[in-house]
Amino acid sequence: MRTSQYLLSTLKETPADAEVISHKLMLRAGMIRRLSSGLYTYLPTGVRVLRKVEQIVREEMNKAGAIEVLMPMVQPAELWQESGRWEQMDAELLRFADRHTRDFVLGPTHEEVITDVVRREITSYKQLPLNLYQIQTKFRDERRPRFGVMRAREFLMKDAYSFHLSQESLQQTYDAMYSAYCNIFNRLGLDYRPVLADTGAIGGSVSHEFHVLASSGEDAIAFSDTSDYAANIEMAEAKAPAGDRPAAIQSLAEIATPNAGSVAEVAALLQVEASRIAKTLFVVATAEEGKAASLVALVLRGDHELNEIKAEKLPEVASPLQFASDEQIRALLGAGAGSVGPVGVNVPVIVDRSAAHLADFVVGANKDGYHLTGVNWDRDISNYKVADIRNIVEGDASPCGFGKLVIKRGIEVGHIFQLGDKYSQALKAGVLNEEGKHQIMTMGCYGVGVSRIVAAAIEQNHDEFGIIWPDAIAPFQVVLIPMNMHKSVRIAEATEQLYAELTAAGIEVLFDDRKERPGVMFADMELIGIPHSIVIGERNLDNREVEYKNRRTGEKQLLNLDNVIATLQSFLAK
Amino acid sequence: MRTSQYLLSTLKETPADAEVISHKLMLRAGMIRRLSSGLYTYLPTGVRVLRKVEQIVREEMNKAGAIEVLMPMVQPAELWQESGRWEQMDAELLRFADRHTRDFVLGPTHEEVITDVVRREITSYKQLPLNLYQIQTKFRDERRPRFGVMRAREFLMKDAYSFHLSQESLQQTYDAMYSAYCNIFNRLGLDYRPVLADTGAIGGSVSHEFHVLASSGEDAIAFSDTSDYAANIEMAEAKAPAGDRPAAIQSLAEIATPNAGSVAEVAALLQVEASRIAKTLFVVATAEEGKAASLVALVLRGDHELNEIKAEKLPEVASPLQFASDEQIRALLGAGAGSVGPVGVNVPVIVDRSAAHLADFVVGANKDGYHLTGVNWDRDISNYKVADIRNIVEGDASPCGFGKLVIKRGIEVGHIFQLGDKYSQALKAGVLNEEGKHQIMTMGCYGVGVSRIVAAAIEQNHDEFGIIWPDAIAPFQVVLIPMNMHKSVRIAEATEQLYAELTAAGIEVLFDDRKERPGVMFADMELIGIPHSIVIGERNLDNREVEYKNRRTGEKQLLNLDNVIATLQSFLAK
């Protein structure tokens, strides 16, 4: 491709409305343009990257035995009513009526449609397992679309759905998808981690997210520093501290703590570490029929944070999690939230494993402006339950038993679920099993955010000059930058010949044939992030040489004209 | 691919609701399933064909210098208001509001979006010409979706848009697209014709349609039997008959024609050929400010049909074309529509070229139950204008000057337009020209119905057993059909080995490893239409042979096991 015949559309200025680096660089590198909130046009450089990601995903899905289908983006409301999601989903699900006033949705995902297809096509256990996927445009009417294509309303996704009669079969396909995803991200050339994840609103039991590591990532991931263990911080188990709980030494005492409500204030006032204070949070309890709403006390160490997802899963706690109001707390205990504690309370007390390991600790006295010191479990608080309800912190023991946890940031680009029968049950999708009986299928689902990967790759691979593409998804593999070719026939001829040779060798090359100053060309090509560049200049040509530069390492070397193709091929083969 | 691990989904019965053969065969061959009116899921066999068509289109567009982009399917209403189409388009344009009650459309086409992109990105004549395309899902809320994917609501389309500062530049890109389309349809292996076409609602001046020829086609196309000339029948010019008009011989006479109103009735009663009778149709005239609506008389030979598109383009005739009511005709002439003619009428008379060539002809007398015979132009009707206002008929002289016209049926699968400045003017899309002045660009647009091609290919290539795919777009190139492999280790081993060899040779092969009777396998593979099949049976294996069969010709031959790959490769190279 010649730049003069291409739509480069690079920008010198950083657009004001872009918050994250990938969004800024995608705009500046001429990859995308905003059409409307959360809606982006992919310009040529953007499409080239997008199509490469798409093709790698397709090839690895095919290799893993998944079969490609293509479902409509517009889906009839009836199927969503059948699954219950027509009512359950909020305004993210874009609903509209057609010319005949029939209701439809713009598909944010395709569980309903694929389950409908499979219940019609598949009648026997002999046709299972089956894993169907598509690569297709999705729409989610985000309340606040942001970060460019990272959280757009219209986006490209690979979604796969598998169907089974047994957990073993589901596990096999799940494992195959796990491997396929590793292959995909390896081939894409990205630093990623599969992590244990919460199954959230989609439902199901087992789930892994695939994260591209980047300091700008929205999600926090906990890793073991010595094993393969990795989990979304929402999911990472916080173990009890090692060893037995220390014995109680101090006796219980009430102490005035005027104007000290927060853990930090109490710690400063009493000269104790935050880790020796237990903080008590009150949340609404699971409703019991015929009874007034009541509360549950959650007790954590002062230096720990509540993990709301873990708390919400407790049978005692109402879902979704709902914090008690100041009025509810005062009605229960006669004190404000800054002075409450678990001693003598008349509601269920759930204690985090680390807090349960404390002895001689400090809690609120359930009396405004007072705390209790020398508090001890069992002696002072007898009726409580221990559970894992906190977020892990760096340095915690890894739940796998090996090493300590470290925390990194990641961008979720893939997610695999063991769905169970949520959709197959709702849509009555069953087959005849080996015994000739009708049996509801169990399902897995497997998503990759194709357009999101493009942004995540940039978050992970950039410097102050622009994008640094991994070879596999670079818009072009090589760029030819001739110095003043419009004034030098010799430069023009040498570049034309290299261009022809590279093209003939099947290398994707951009030939920057613009009448621009070298500085402008260098800046544009660094911004776009083409991994390998060849500069053709007068002086080097005297020795039949051109200058190679690696975008990532910055390494430069002179190549003899006769060796350019072979050298580039060896770089690209890596 | 092994059939046992694939979703074949063939049907024995022809679905009742499918009207055309491609729809029936796509359902029966397991290519598509209906989700809702005009919405289809592509099953694996359908996707395989669709992706091949898509890839051929992409490659030829790239070769022709067009650059791929990707625009959102969801488009903001503002752009459609700016172009005027928000008001102009009927319910086919699906409009909806998002969660913030802003108006959007589901894109049926992308002139507005691309013009908006280009007006922002392109500022100088140096960046022109530019030809941008995408391959993307479109939505058109058809009143009556039918014929399966042939006229679906959601469909896959390649749409390209080019931008220029001169007609010469537009013509160059138009010609390049014309050639690219020929390359596409040649590579697809389809019998097609480019034909001159009307520009219709999209606007513009020059236009060609690309039709796949099939007896079931919706459109009629006129061809010269000796030259390359081809035109949509709506557009084909009807020339005046050769030679001078015969001299007038008869004198004008009034004759009673009771109960004879139609051309056929008058011809039978008066014992003259229909071609000697001139029929007169009245349509509403172009409105003149401050005047009451008036009529225009259109005169055609009795054996010819009015071409409404040609008539509508006459300056005298109101657009859209509107036939006069019986009341309007009686008010003007005092007679019913079956007895009217052009003699003595007080409105403009427009005479088709062939009717204008008549002498001594018959017309209605403008008196109920009477006609005039021996009528002659100039002598009896002095104030008239001659124009081409009829449909051509088979046997007409070709307007190119060579040969006679024949009529065939076609399915429109591509359409190229010289759009002019309709959208660029409305959206004020201009650049600085060589003189440094702001100049509105001129545009071309170029569409290919990717999913429609799949159906059209089947309309053209099928027999009573099923589809006959051209090699280039077959879901699989070769099928292996082993006879009773589940009972014969020898058959199983030979087939497995062939499968491995074919796969290693890069041939796309379907291995029918089902426990089915040979008859079922043959029927399914004929239905799906795989071009080349290899049957592995005991007796032939004794001679180290297998049986090759060509789906299209039915030709069979025995191949030595050592020659199978080479022979198939030679067939596929053709």
* Average pLDDT of the segment spanning B53-75: 98
Q: What is the average per-residue pLDDT within B163-188?
A: 97
pLDDT tens for each residue of B520-549: 999 999 999 999 999 999 999 999 999 999
Position A203 scores a pLDDT of 52
For B557, phi then psi, to 5°, come to: -155, 155
Contact A27, A11 (CB under 8 A): yes
More confident residue, A204 or B572: B572
pLDDT value at A201 more than 70: no
Among A9, A37, A40, A43, the strongest candidate for a mutation testing the B interface, having the largest count of B CBs within 10 A, is A43
User: Which residues between 338 and 397 in chain B have a beta carbon less than 8 angstroms from any beta carbon of chain A?
Assistant: none
Taking only the tens place, the pLDDT of each residue in A94-125 is: 999 999 999 999 999 999 999 999 999 999 99
Mutate to test the interface with B, among A67, A137, A427 (most CBs of B within 10 A): A67
pLDDT, residue B204, reads 57
A214 versus A201: the higher-pLDDT residue is A214
Confidence grade of residue A456 (pLDDT, cut at 50, 70, 90): very high
ipTM of this model? 0.88
Chain centroid to Cα A444, Å, comes to 19
pLDDT at residue A199 in the model: 62
Measured between CB atoms, which of B41, B68, B116 is closest to A69?
Answer: B41
- What ranges in A3-144 are assigned the alpha helix state H? 21-28, 44-63, 77-83, 85-88, 111-121
Q: Is the pLDDT of residue A381 over 70?
A: yes
Which pLDDT does position A196 carry in this prediction?
86
Yes or no, beta carbons of A154 and B40 under 8 Å apart: no
Chain B, 24 to 43: residues with Cβ < 8 Å from chain A are 33, 35-36, 39-43
Q: Would you mind telling me the total number of residues written for chain A in this entry?
A: 574
The region of weakest confidence among A325-334, B154-163, B283-292, B402-411 is B283-292
On the question of a cis peptide bond just before residue A482, with omega within 30 degrees of 0, the verdict is: no
The tens digit of pLDDT for each residue in B553-570 reads 999 999 999 999 999 999
- Does position B172 have pLDDT exceeding 70, yes or no? yes
Write down the pLDDT at residue B216.
Answer: 86
Q: Which residues in A lie closer than 8 A to residue B65 (C-beta atoms)?
A: 5
In which band, very low, low, confident or very high, does the pLDDT at A17 lie, cut at 50, 70 and 90?
A: confident
Mean confidence (pLDDT) of chain B: 94
Which of A48-52, B63-67, B154-158, B215-219 bottoms out in mean pLDDT, i.e. has the lowest? B215-219
| CA separation for the pair B483, B453 (Å, rounded) | 35
In which band, very low, low, confident or very high, does the pLDDT at A362 lie, cut at 50, 70 and 90?
A: very high
Give the pLDDT mean for A300-305. 96
A36–B130: do the CB atoms touch at under 8 Å?
Answer: no
Q: What amino acid is encoded at B527 in this protein?
A: L
Beta bridge partners of A151: A146
Considering only alpha carbons, which residue of chain A is nearest residue B97?
Answer: A96
Distance CA B299, CA B270 (A): 20
Question: Are B121 and A51 an interchain contact pair (Cβ–Cβ within 8 Å)?
Answer: no
What single string gives the DSSP state of each residue in B319-355?
Answer: SS--BPPHHHHHHHHSS-GGG--STT-SS-EEEETTG
Using CB atoms within 10 A of its CB, is residue B243 exposed (0-12), middle (13-18) or buried (19+)?
A: exposed
List all residues of chain A from 100 to 159 with a beta carbon under 8 Å from chain B. Answer: 102, 104, 106, 113, 116-117, 120-121, 127, 130, 132, 134, 136-137, 139, 141, 143, 153-154
Contacts of B68 in chain A (CB under 8 A): 44, 47-48, 51
Confidence of residue B203 (pLDDT cuts 50, 70, 90): low
Q: What is the mean pLDDT of residues A133-158?
A: 95
List alpha helices for A9-64, DSSP H.
21-28, 44-63
Q: What local confidence, expressed as pLDDT, does residue B427 receive?
A: 97
Give me the pLDDT at residue A1, please: 95
pLDDT at A403 over 80: yes
A463: phi then psi, degrees, rounded to nearest 5: -140, -165
Q: What is the pTM of this model?
A: 0.88
Q: What is the pLDDT of residue A235?
A: 84
Q: Bigger pLDDT: B259 or B452?
A: B452
Q: Which of A89, A99, A103, A157 to mutate to test the interface with B (most CBs of B within 10 A)?
A: A99
Q: Does B107 score more than 70 pLDDT?
A: yes
Burial class (CB in 10 A: 0-12, 13-18, 19+), A355: buried
pLDDT for residue A204: 57
Is A126's pLDDT higher than 90?
yes
Given this model, what pLDDT does residue B293 score? 76
pLDDT at A221 over 70: yes
Task: Identify the pLDDT of residue A58.
Answer: 98
